[in-house]
Amino acid sequence: MNRDVIYDLAARLTASRHTVFLTGSGVSAESGIATFRDARSGLWSRYRPEDLATPAAFRRNPALVWDWYQWRRESVARAQPNPGHRAIAEFERRLARVTLITQNVDGLHQRAGSSRVVEFHGNIMRSRCSLEQCGAVVEPAPVDTTSPPPCPRCGAWLRPDVVWFGEAIPSAALEMALAAVEDCDVILSIGTSSQVQPAAGLAAQASARGAFLVEVNPESTPITRRADCVLPGPSGRILPALVEAMNAVAGNGD
């Protein structure tokens, strides 16, 4: 990892008035949670995640979809935040202003100490009533059920409190995310393949209005070519190195 690049970026973050962290499932990979494109095993490997994470799939086969989420919930419950999550929480404590927008539904940013988290795609550890007009939310998610349990308020099926394909982003989350993207000096896109809209458009939107765009990912993505700084590698290694450089920059009184 190029030391000068890391130190220059650390100095830029230290001077930044408002920094956005935009994370995807790659940030949780080092916690042992399969990335979204890989989150299949056994029974579900026949399906693409995009085909399981939809209202139609749930209507067609609620037990299959519910089981897939139970399987993912169990791996989330076993997982621990990794150094990448903890580094982002440290940046929230140290930088002037941080907005964390996560596509992840695993709650690991909060468990690592991040307090202001925009859950762009909801949270798998919560369930909500499948009837919009009821809106009951159950947290934590019920365990040991092989098919959707009944809503405690109206008896309809419960469903995971996540945003499925074809569903709108929760309006509060979308508003907070867009306001941060319109205001930030620096945006770091970390651990996302930048394929799922509208999340994937946020980094480019910030960059188009002049924010400094950083990408942290072992692979290139559709936004790599427009990034001002590309840090190729795992977030669990790169982000702690960035915190260390920030401490050194702060220590030098730079």
> Is 162 near ligand BV8 (CB under 6 A)?
yes
| Given 64, 77, 138, 196, the residue binding ligand BV8 (CB under 6 A) | 196
Compare residues 44 and 249 and give the one whose CB is closer to ligand BV8: 44
| Given 4, 132, 144, 219, the residue binding ligand BV8 (CB under 6 A) | 219
> Is 154 near Zn ion (CB under 5 A)?
yes
Compare residues 97 and 131 and give the one whose CB is closer to ligand BV8: 131
85 given a catalytic annotation: no
Compare residues 39 and 156 and give the one whose CB is closer to Zn ion: 156
Residues in the chain: 254
Contact 160, 127 (CB under 8 A): yes
Q: Which residues are catalytic?
A: 121
The contact set with ligand BV8 (CB under 6 A) reads: 24-26, 29-30, 35-37, 50, 53, 103-105, 121, 162-168, 191-193, 195-198, 216-219, 221, 234-236
